[in-house]
Amino acid sequence: MARTVTPADSSPNSRQRAGVVFAVAAYGIWGFFPVYFLLLAPASGTEIVAWRILFSLAFCVLLITVTRRWSMFLTVLRNRRLVLATGLAGVLIYANWQIYVVAVLDGKIVETALGYFINPIVTVLLGVFLLRERLRPLQWTAVAVSAVAIAVLAIGYGSMPWIGIALAATFGLYGLIKKRAGANLDAVTGLTFETLWLVPVASVILVIVGASSGIVLGTIGPGHTLLLVGVGVATAIPLLLFAAAAKRLTLVGLGLTQYLTPLLQFLFGVFIMHEAMPVERWVGFGLVWLALIILTFDLIQHGRAARRALPLPG
């Protein structure tokens, strides 16, 4: 017997529940990326990222064809500003991918987790310096605590945690560009243009790798080859899940779930890969988490105040 759709199926609560499922799925997949990339060894980080670009583009083209969304692609193509924006976004996401994959293969998973923990703080700072936004007192407090955390972590690492800072900076700027592009650029079309811009870079990388250490794709076994080819699917799927979550959740809801990714990566690096965590690093990460708690509390409070300020319907 066919199921009858009731009004509750499309209620705000059901949409929110679906949004949480989509968000947890997206951030959960991103959280397990270190495991995936470690399985791609002995391919080098540069080769993995090159294949990631090409296979992501191939999968996006397939998705656009299956969903018949070439009209959106052509609309963006006719918009010079958007095309150039995707080019800049492509450069930033390439830098982010390259830093991340090389760091994971080099056994620095905890530091990559740091990058995504501090990303919300970096996003706040980008709003101040690039968009001339004014911070609320609690936001300034979170920024100050984060600065102390970076100083403590620098002592713990013996140098500035550049990997984490670079990941946060590149992803923060990438997110800013995507935000400025707005509703004119959906997840699949955006990734299609970004990877399309990067095809020459990926091609040069593969030529250099082939002439030096040799291409690994297809030389280890069918399972490894399938994993390497599947990196395009693994890149696009969480983006689609995130886009579905963003349509159903508030900014606060997304903000609360985004910490799942670095938390999973941190736990994997510390308890599975047994990366060193001296006292200074625990203190530094503790301060980062304190800053995130302050920032999240401010986000929730501001969201409630904004809702109370809305006029009542009718």
Dist. CA 109–CA 123, nearest whole Å: 22
- Exposure letters 160-180 (e unless 16+ CB within 10 A, then b): ebebbbbbbbbbbbbbbbbee
Q: Is residue 173 part of a domain?
A: yes
Residue pair 291/121 in contact (Cβ under 8 Å)? The answer is: yes
Q: Is residue 306 part of a domain?
A: no
Q: Is the N-terminal amide bond of 42 cis, ω within 30° of 0?
A: yes
Q: Which of 97, 7, 13, 2 is nearest to 51 (CA)?
A: 97
Q: What's the N-to-C CA distance of the chain in angstroms? A: 40
Dist. CA 183–CA 254, nearest whole Å: 17
Residue pair 172/95 in contact (Cβ under 8 Å)? The answer is: no
46: its two tokens: 């540069």
The residues, ordered by sequence, that sit 6+ positions from 271 with a Cβ below 8 Å of its Cβ are: none
Q: Is residue 5 part of a domain?
A: no
Conformation bin of residue 158: beta by default, left when phi > 0, alpha when psi is -120 to 50: left
Cα-based distances in Å from 59 to 6, 87, 103, 232 = 36, 19, 25, 6
Q: Is residue 146 part of a domain?
A: yes
Q: Is residue 308 part of a domain?
A: no
Q: Is residue 313 part of a domain?
A: no
Which domain, by its residues, includes 181?
18-300
Cα-based distances in Å from 153 to 4, 122, 148, 284 = 56, 16, 9, 5
Q: Which of 28, 25, 202, 36 is nearest to 104 (CA)?
A: 36
Instruction: Give residue 5's pLDDT.
Output: 47
Residue pair 295/120 in contact (Cβ under 8 Å)? The answer is: yes
pTM for the full predicted model: 0.89
Q: Is residue 10 part of a domain?
A: no
Domain count, the chain: 1
User: What sign does the dihedral 196-200-204-210 (CA atoms) show?
Assistant: positive
* Predicted confidence (pLDDT) per residue in 53-100, tens digit: 999 999 999 999 999 999 999 999 999 999 999 999 999 999 999 999
The DSSP 8-state label assigned to residue 118 in this structure reads: S
Dist. CA 263–CA 31, nearest whole Å: 7
**Rg of the chain, C-alpha, whole Å:** 21
pLDDT, tens digit only, all 314 positions of the chain? 444 444 444 577 788 888 889 999 999 999 999 999 999 999 999 999 999 999 999 999 999 999 999 999 999 999 999 999 999 999 999 999 999 999 999 999 999 999 999 988 988 888 888 878 888 899 999 999 999 999 999 988 888 999 999 999 999 899 888 888 876 788 889 999 999 999 999 999 999 999 998 999 999 999 999 999 999 999 999 988 988 888 887 766 777 788 999 999 999 999 999 999 999 999 999 999 999 999 889 888 876 655 544 343 43
Q: Is residue 11 part of a domain?
A: no
User: Between 231-248 and 45-67, two packed helices, what is the crossing angle to 10 degrees?
Assistant: 60
Instruction: Please tell me the total number of residues recorded for the chain in this structure.
Output: 314
Instruction: Give residue 10's pLDDT.
Output: 56
Q: Find tokens 């590149």 and name the residue.
A: 170
